[in-house]
Structure 1
Amino acid sequence: MFKKILIANRGEIALRIHRACKEMGIATVAVHSTADAHAMHVRMADESVCIGPPPATQSYLSVPNIISACEITGAEAIHPGYGFLSENAAFVQIVEDHGLTFIGPTSEHIRLMGDKITAKETMRDLGVPCVPGSDGGVPTLAAAQRVAGEVGFPLIVKATAGGGGRGMKLARGPEDLAQAFQTARSEAKAAFGNDEVYLERYLGRPRHIEIQVFGDGKGHAVHLGERDCSLQRRHQKVFEEAPSPVIDAATRARIGKICAEAVARINYAGAGTIEFLYEDGEFFFIEMNTRLQVEHPVTEAIYDVDIVQEQIRVAAGLPMSFTQDDLVPAGHAIECRINAERLPQFTPSPGRIRTYYAPGGLGVRMDSAIYDGYVIPPYYDSLIGKLIVHARTRDLALARLRRALSELIIDGVDNTMPLFHALLDEPDLQSGRYDIHWLEKWLARES
């Protein structure tokens, strides 16, 4: 087992990884920018190293600085968390070349799943159901028109290197295709340095269902059920729950088995998430995230496992601590992502936290790195906390979430807590009748 791990991240996820390490008796190294000198993960880690000024490109994305921090402190492994360098195959290769361990999948698997077209082709070959669309990249408008004639409208144009909704445009009919094609390419070039796009059938009212998988890198893998992440704004998740209100045990076992067998066949190591659109009883693969997900706590709650500790175990060469038969879900869990944003525009709201009080009680978990007096810097993602509740049933979980939100105090900066207070009063949310478009439509009505 590792003696010391460097955490190449910040905020709540850095603190989350630190806690997992401490329970395993592993020393931690926090890296930080000058803007995060007083961050909670820096205060709690055994050692800390400043790796640059506030811009992420000069600190959290600076590979030489992170490798140097490992050499200075003697850290043997790096946990990337999510975001930043967590899915950067070149970084993983550099880590390995320096005799260090990357806590996550291989650079080969990150590269394989990082390209949407290659990922789709691979998953199709592995027996995972996929959305009908182009067989690969579509280089010209004429080629896009030929694919559209085969797939039909509506369809969606997507960047092969895309993420977070960027480089993604909808064409409802032939008259929309040219603009959607050109705009998606332009956005992709600006955001990712790669203007290649592909086309897929557009599903009208799907849900976003993702399957948590875990492999040991030696041909064995399991699934830990699904998460329903359908409540989204601009393709960004805001509310996640497990299990999904629309997936039964038989369906869960069927799609979970398909996903676990797929990652086992490629000798995948560590945590991964296979994301689907789900409509009319059918699953359609959209992408695989080769890292820890923001919403992993809801899975941990219903399966009573520590996914981060499991990542560390497998990276250290140990076997998984559970088999598929051990993984029996219990109860229902919900997560709210709380951002420092000003409603209703959702504009960032950095500043000083005057008062912070975390809710407590049975089945309540608050993952956050803020504290009284903490200054939220303007340089990074606006996520400041994740409120997670767990209960025997979905109705009890919703009631517990309402109670926990009423206890939570974050004073000094605007935040998105009022959004969740309002959503909990909506009959569609209470009954679980929503899709990936529901929140956008609700926000439009409320504005």
Structure 2
Amino acid sequence: MKTIKRITAAMAALALAGVVAGCAQRPAATLSDEALLDSVERRTFDYFWSGAEPNSGLACERINMDGIYPENDETVVTTGGSGFGILALIAGMERGYVTREQGIERFERIVSFLERADRFHGAWPHWIEGRTGRVKPFGKKDNGGDLVETAFLVQGLLAAHQYFAQGNEREQALAQRIDTLWRGVEWSWYRNGQNVLYWHWSPEYGWEMNFAVHGFNECLVMYILAAASPTYPIDREVYTEGWAENGAIVDEHEVEGYRLRLRYQGVEAGPLFWAHYSFLGLDPRGLRDDYCEDYFGEMRNYSLINRAYCIRNPRHYKGYGKDCWGLTASYSTAGYAAHAPVEREDRGVIAPTAALSSIVYTPEESMDVMRYLYGPLHEKVWGPYGFYDAFSQTDDWYPQKYLAIDQGPIAVMIENHRSELLWRLFMSHPDVQNGLRKLGFESPVLQ
């Protein structure tokens, strides 16, 4: 019943905005790039607005249009996906999808919930029960703090802080509460006494998951935020020895005719979310450090490798090509899988978030995919919250399901492509700038 109400509310909001009655029903070929981008961004934004868990205002882990949920987790919110959603909410406020008053009310609800929700040495868990604020275990031993998911949440919160910090008295008070949440994360404690950051800690199982985070993957922003903390910072040595493994992160190689400088965790090139999650707020343009001379160029090549692999299509899946590419972590024909441009990790499943969230790196190539999905595949892949999570033309498989961690990057990266808004906000935070300088980063936006 709650799902039906959410869907009804979403459709009503879109109809009032003229999206359902107007451009959403027009063929993709008749829409300008700007109109198509706005249609996709607005519909995807609504996952985090009308589709939000009602008590917390945060992002539901998943929304299934059939109303069937595993383990009764309809009210479970995702910490990292909520960070992405916070960025999307800022974009929606700025674009007038909702009023500023509505947006402030939503942010006050979000912050109030985060203030009382379970935290473990300042870090939130991966999943939170939206009705109570209590941890919902992601796994038996994953029932405590999740520093990576917390980093994705904080990335959004710091952008929100900058958005509200110069506003009226109410907005400044909201920014101050966000600052208190930020200062409460004990980043340095998650070193476990070593020069590396650990992903998890449990009050029952301690460090038993034993997941030390080394690069390169989606976790770069976690190390930057840990260095940036004004209260519980890490030293540069933790980044050097932990993330970069004293330079072993550098592994120059070529894939599909494109050069890469970094090592990608056991594969020549991994799933595309590794190019998205850290860079929703962190601006890769002109960003460099001791290990990568051009993060934007690296992520552009990383995206083009994914596209080139799909065009080559060594496993001969139906539909793959220049208008239909993008392998990343998503729903799959057999559960959930981290699809990647290597044959053993390719199951014929395309996730719209993969190519669409790469639009900042590959604008023309990503627009080709957007027009294909919005056009020929429209009836199969388009729903009330934008494009569904994943599909397979080979298996004639088109589940009507959404995941917050895949919807969020679509809306956020479209906005960065259009206005650079979220990049500008996050990068303007003085603590973020201090953290980048501390780790030896260079960027045109560092003051």
Q: Identify whether the pair has TM-score above 0.5, normalized to the shorter chain.
A: no
**Structure with more relative contact order (C-alpha pairs < 8 Å, separation 6 or more):** 2
Radius of gyration: which is bigger? 1
TM-score, normalised relative to structure 2: 0.29
Higher helix share: 2
TM-score, normalised relative to structure 1: 0.29
Higher strand share: 1
